[in-house]
A = this chain, B = another copy of it.
Amino acid sequence: MAVYTDVSDEELSDFLTRYDIGALVSCKGIAEGVENSNFLLGTETGRFILTLYEKRVNEGDLPFFLGLMDHLADRGINCPQPVRDRDGEALGRLAGRPATIVSFLDGMWVKRPEVSHCGQVGEALARLHKAGEGFSIRRRNGLGPDGWPPLYAGSADRADEVLTGLGGEVETELAFLQSNWPKDLPEGVIHADLFPDNVFFLKGQLSGLIDFYFACNDFLVYDLAICLNAWCFEPDGAFNITKGRAMLSGYTSGRPLTDAEMDALPVLCRGAALRFLLTRLYDWLMTPPGALVRKKDPLEYYKKLRFHRTATTASAYGLELAGSGA
């Protein structure tokens, strides 16, 4: 649950005088998102989202994130667009924090995704990957394989508080992934956090993508692995191959996978599961009891990781492999 920063009336109205969006008529803190403080603004000209970037966001990355939203919107992706102030700046400061105003997107996220949603997310991800081509700023993935060992180091002593034996399993997995992580797959800009709460639908049709604050340059198919993890498992922990097939078929209809990408999918899914297991484990152990945040269960991703270990080819996810028969 967000809204970490209180903004005084004076600060907010001073900030808004820099923009040509009309006078403020309403302002509500939004109880979603866990990284930043978000406010829904109503002004005389429309609705906007005001975001204050909290400490987890590196200020140096903001030109990447804001530039990317502009780049994608110019190429037909329906995503929030940064509003520029009268000096042409998209990034300001409010209440001692970097702050931006972006356009408001209609649409709602689905809490229980169905097969049709998964198919549309696959298609949208392929469109996103193509639209990201030509974006000139680069950002490395700080939560990629090189980032996992130091991230795990912060929780290693206490991993077994969550589940006996978890520490040992994570270490084995880290070693496996260091040795088996693919090289030379097609790269580009990935969203890296395209969970259901970041995808909007209107009347069953995908209408927009939000929250580009984990976006970075990495293997494109790693983004697909993140989405398979986030969208295609049932609440009981079982992988739903019908959803997986819909997502993969949606993706490949827009951007066919190379053989190397198909071969790498099981390992990338393991890596994607471990990445969210590690950040959730860290947050689980480190979040003080009184914090205004709902903690996410790291073991959900541990179960997903165990499933991926049983997958030997991309057909485990529903991909139709050449020569695999009908």
Contact = CB atoms under 8 A, between A and B. Distances in A.
A55 interface: no
Interface string A101-135: 00011111011100000000000000000000000
A293 B40 CA distance: 20
B25 A106 contact: yes
Contact of A30 (B8, B29, B106, B203): B29
Contacts of A29: 30-32
Secondary structure class of chain A's binding surface, majority of residues: loop
Copies of this chain, whole number: 2
A106 B9 contact: no
Contact of A1 (B108, B111, B292): B292
Given A1-B292, A29-B30, A42-B47, 20 more contacts: A1-B1, A1-B3, A1-B31, A2-B31, A8-B111, A24-B108, A26-B105, A26-B106, A26-B108, A27-B108, A28-B28, A28-B30, A28-B40, A29-B31, A29-B32, A30-B30, A31-B31, A292-B292, A292-B293, A292-B294
8 contacts: A2-B31, A26-B105, A28-B31, A29-B32, A30-B30, A42-B47, A289-B290, A290-B290
